[in-house]
Chains A and B, each alone.
Chain A
Amino acid sequence: MLHKYETLLLARTEITNDELATIERYLDKHLADNGGKVVVFDKWGKLRLAYPIDGSEYGIYILARYDVPVEKVTAVLKEIETFFKLKCSDFILRTLSVRLPANAATTYQRPDSVEMGRNVTGDTFLKDNKMDLLSSVKNVGDRDFDGNGDENGEG
């Protein structure tokens, strides 16, 4: 019988793709040796932290979901935790492992990352905050500028 577990990792923004690959490879190998398997390995991307952790304002979140056989749960989880704490302490800031209920949904809600989120430009910002008047003011200014250009042309 397998139990569902998930681990959320908080990494520094300086983490390289190689380091991410080593984490993924380690989880794959370690769980396969013990009769489990990795179900999901999601990279959320760069997110703004609610408070600065270890001097950094941003962080990269990684979510791993995996199945572990019931007999080896304690040993496997302990090994994973020590791996992140001892060998990945350079680029991993926080970890959190949680057991999921058996009927847990495969989809989940997650916060939008900074990079993958909607591009916020000047116009979209004004629309979101209901300041359309300001954008019309900008257009008026453009027209004035055009008018001046015409006058210069006539002169």
Chain B
Amino acid sequence: MAKKIKLKVSSRLLKKKIRKQSYLGPKHCRFCGNAEHEPLIDYKNATFLRSFLTERSKILPSRVSGNCFFHQRELSRQIKMARSMGLLPFCAVHL
């Protein structure tokens, strides 16, 4: 009798397969080609910038927010300026 060969499938490969099957299309940067939204990236506009922070007040990665590299860099620069002026927190709880 021939032995049954059981192929090992790693979880990483499984995830890759699922990703390929449920193809959602490329991500879109919400600021690219949107002249109304681009001036919102400003260190004074703290309420808007707060939507790009996690609950621990870390900057959301572009992998999550979907921003392009140019706008992600600009956004993080403005967030850091707002932090230095006390408009945005550095971390969730300041001791």
Q: Are A63 and B44 in contact (CB under 8 A)?
A: yes
Interface string of B6-43 (1 = CB under 8 A from A): 00000000000000000000000000000000011011
Q: Are A49 and B42 in contact (CB under 8 A)?
A: no
Q: Is the contact region of chain A dominated by helix, strand, or loop, or is it mixed?
A: strand
B77 smallest CB distance to A (angstroms): 11
Question: Which residues of A lie under 8 Å from residue B40 when comparing CB positions?
Answer: 109
Question: Which residues of B lie under 8 Å from residue A10 when comparing CB positions?
Answer: 85-86
Interface string of B36-71 (1 = CB under 8 A from A): 000110111111100000000000000000000000
Among the 9-residue stretches A14-22, A50-58, A84-92, the one with 4 or more Cβ atoms under 8 Å from chain B is A50-58
Question: Which residues of B lie under 8 Å from residue A109 when comparing CB positions?
Answer: 40, 42, 44-45, 47-48
Q: Give the distance in Å from the alpha carbon of A105 to the alpha carbon of B38 in the complex.
A: 12
Out of A59, A105, A111, which one reaches B47, CB within 8 Å? A111
Chain A interface extent, by class: 20 to 34
B-side interface residues toward A, CB under 8 Å?
Answer: 39-40, 42-48, 81, 83-90, 94
What are 21 sample pairs from A and B whose C-beta atoms fall under 8 A apart?
Answer: A8-B44, A10-B85, A10-B86, A47-B87, A49-B86, A49-B87, A50-B83, A50-B89, A50-B90, A51-B90, A52-B94, A61-B85, A94-B84, A94-B85, A96-B84, A96-B85, A98-B43, A108-B42, A108-B44, A111-B46, A111-B47
